[in-house]
Amino acid sequence: MDQREYGDHAALQDAVWRRRVRESARADVKAMLRGTRRRRVERWLVTAMVLAATVAVVMLLAGVGVFSRGGKAAAPGGGSTDSNALTVVDMDHPFELTPAAQWADGAAGIEVPPAMQVGEFSAAEVADATHRVRDVLVASRLDQAMLRDHDPSRYLALLAPDNARQLRPLFGTGREQQAQALVSMVDKGTTLSRAEPKVKGTMTVSAGGPGELVVRTNYVFAYAFTADPAQPPVDPMSVVVVVRADIQYVLLKGTRWTEASQGLWYRDVNGFFYSISCDAYHKGFIAPAYQDKSQSHSAPRQDKTTYFNPDAAVPAESGCPN
């Protein structure tokens, strides 16, 4: 075999190798997507508040003197005689009497970890990945384009093209429930209050397989809605919805992956909703529980603070009937 023949043979072998790598990458991506869909269906949970009768709530609050009109905790026997004392929720500060009261507002609650080299990824690449994931969380959970307008453009633009292509048909087509583990969209019949959502949680980074950087996010988002005009709220949880989102994002890079698959993907997805309208939930949207006029919810099995705690185990319960 002369040098020319050897060169032709080597080029052929190299072409075969590249084709196998591309096919393997496509198979890996398809398997990742199938696994993510399955886990999203199996592991996303919902729990909702029980809606007590208004009279019962008023009697309870009057009996123990829990709240004052200004929204502050009050000692029993405070003795206010103001007839408006039970209208306790200050809608300019709707989180004041919830565990989220001292949390950061909006995007300020999403902090990226310090940049450092992780496996084959340089410190600069890790910093870029974590900031990109932060942008994804903002676009999917806090941006008005997604929350109010249900426009996924900014969110999808931050993902790998192949991942975005798979998700795009879930928006504006009646399939929003399939995407609700990844994004927050407000039901069209409700309105968020002027108060920014509250956010608490963490982000961590680790090495994955070859060409993979894993960014784990674990956040709780609390959203405040305007009140039912026919029933002034005496409990802040009548206007607050809590979303827990534990999502693993994976950055793919290198020749193992096709060009359209390089970038950010979601992988493991876990979480739940708390104090949510079941009608809205079943459509893929969020709304306060008082919206469900004729639907009863199962009683939550744990203390309210558990549902606000990003470090607590995800509860294995559902508060909304199927």
Assign 314 a pLDDT band (cuts: 50, 70, 90): confident
pLDDT at 160: 97
The string of pLDDT tens digits covering residues 33-64 is 445 444 443 345 666 543 222 222 222 222 22
Q: Is residue 204 situated within a structural domain?
A: yes
Alpha carbons within 13 angstroms on the beta-carbon side of residue 230 total 4
- Here the tokens at position 15 are 């072409």
Assign 93 a pLDDT band (cuts: 50, 70, 90): very high
31-38 contacts at long range (C-beta below 8 A, 24 or more positions apart) = 32/250, 32/265, 32/267, 33/163, 33/166, 35/267, 36/265, 36/266, 36/267, 36/268, 36/269
Q: Is residue 314 situated within a structural domain?
A: no
Q: Is residue 79 situated within a structural domain?
A: no
Q: Is residue 83 situated within a structural domain?
A: no
Question: Is the pLDDT reported for residue 81 higher than 90?
Answer: no
Which of 35-39, 73-77, 297-301, 303-307 shows the highest mean pLDDT? 303-307
Instruction: Give the amino acid at 125.
Output: E
Bigger pLDDT: 72 or 179?
A: 179
pLDDT at 65: 26
pLDDT at 266: 95
pLDDT at 19: 54
Q: Is residue 130 situated within a structural domain?
A: yes
Q: Whole-angstrom Cα distance, residue 249 to residue 136?
A: 10
Bigger pLDDT: 40 or 270?
A: 270
SS (H, E, C) 227-270: CCCCCCCCCHHHCEEEEEEEEEEEEECCCCCCHHHCEEEEEEEE
Residue in 157, 154, 143 with CA at minimum distance from that of residue 199: 143
Assign 284 a pLDDT band (cuts: 50, 70, 90): very high
Q: Is residue 273 situated within a structural domain?
A: yes
The string of pLDDT tens digits covering residues 115-156 is 999 999 999 999 999 999 999 999 999 999 999 999 999 999
Domain of 155 in residue numbering reads as: 3-52+89-308
Bigger pLDDT: 299 or 191?
A: 191
| Residues above pLDDT 70, as percent of the chain | 69
Q: Is residue 133 situated within a structural domain?
A: yes
The number of distinct structural domains making up the chain is 1
Residue 65, burial from CB neighbour count under 10 angstroms (0-12, 13-18, 19+): middle
Q: Is residue 60 situated within a structural domain?
A: no
User: What does the pLDDT average to over 149-175?
Assistant: 97
Q: What is the mean pLDDT of the chain?
A: 78
pLDDT at 77: 28
Q: How far apart are the first and last CA of the chain?
A: 71
